[in-house]
Amino acid sequence: MTAASVPPAGGTADRAGGGASPAPGTVRRAICPGSFDPVTNGHLDIIGRAAELYDEVVVAVFVNQVKSSLFSSDERRDMLVESTAQYGNVAIDTFEGLVVDYCRAHGIPVIVKGLRAVSDFDYELQMAQMNRGLAGVDTLFMPTNPEYSFLASSLVKEIAKWGGDVSALVPPNVLKRLTDRSGTPGRA
Ligand code: ADP
């Protein structure tokens, strides 16, 4: 499955809300939405674990015209394509609008979100309840790997901007783009 082949709804995966025992032949599909500006090892940990739980996972880059980002949506998508190439069941896409509309259009019943700390939970719970109420789309929360509980794209950008070493926080392809962008080689 590639970015260009995220299937529309109406196929085999349009059971809203998921379920413990899907009909035979049902494709279990989930979405990991986010800004991914840029993708970090924390994101990749969640994406990899979601790929083990579901038949197909769509990682959707949320395009926000108002919020300024370091990388364009195409760059963010490309970095995700490169760093998830080892998964045969992960597709990357970009979207603008509501996650639940994307889910409806593509027959995706579940949103997967990583939780780093209690501070994430307040906002994420509100969003999850709203999405369930709006469209019957459920949210699965995955506790982050403790190794990445402090990790956020904003932090990575700030450290890289000042030449700090982020090589343990992002995959090599992202490290290269960050270094190229900041013009400062990472230091230990
Ligand atoms: P941020 O800019 O805060 O890094 P994104 O919008 O790019 O967030 O992230 C999308 C989703 O990825 C978040 O809602 C969160 O569920 C998850 N996520 C982000 N960073 C981590 C991390 N370090 N560990 C686990 N999950 C994370």
On average, the pLDDT of the chain sits at: 88
Residue 59 lies in a domain: yes
SS3 of 143, please? strand
Residue that has been written with the tokens 């674990």 in this structure = 49
Q: Which domain holds residue 119?
A: 26-150
- Please compute Rg for the chain using Cα positions: 17
Whether 43 is catalytic: yes
pLDDT of residue 15: 38
pLDDT of residue 34: 96
Residue of 31, 39, 41, 46 to test ligand 1 pocket, by largest number of atoms within 8 Å of CB: 46
Answer whether 43 contacts ligand 1 (Cβ < 6 A). Answer: yes
pLDDT of residue 25: 76
Whether 161 is catalytic: no
Residue 44 lies in a domain: yes
CATH number of the CATH domain containing 124: 3.40.50.620
Residues of the chain with pLDDT under 50: 4, 10-19, 185-188
pLDDT of residue 112: 98
Residue 123 lies in a domain: yes
Cβ contacts of 99 within 8 Å, gap of 6 or more: 31, 33, 60, 62, 111, 131, 137
Whether 67 is catalytic: yes
Residue 187 lies in a domain: no
Sheet strands (E) in 116-153: 138-143
Q: Structurally, how many domains does the chain consist of?
A: 1
Residue 99 lies in a domain: yes
Residue 157 lies in a domain: no
> Measured between alpha carbons, how far is residue 137 from residues 18, 21, 103, 112, 187 in Å?
9, 17, 8, 11, 44
SS3 of 155, please? helix
Residue of 39, 43, 47, 49 to test ligand 1 pocket, by largest number of atoms within 8 Å of CB: 43
DSSP sequence for 86-112: T-TTEEEEEE-S-HHHHHHHHT--EEE
Residue 20 lies in a domain: no
Residue 127 lies in a domain: yes
pLDDT of residue 64: 80
Ligand 1 center to residue 115 CA distance, Å? Answer: 8
Whether 106 is catalytic: no
pLDDT of residue 27: 82
pLDDT of residue 117: 86
pLDDT of residue 1: 57
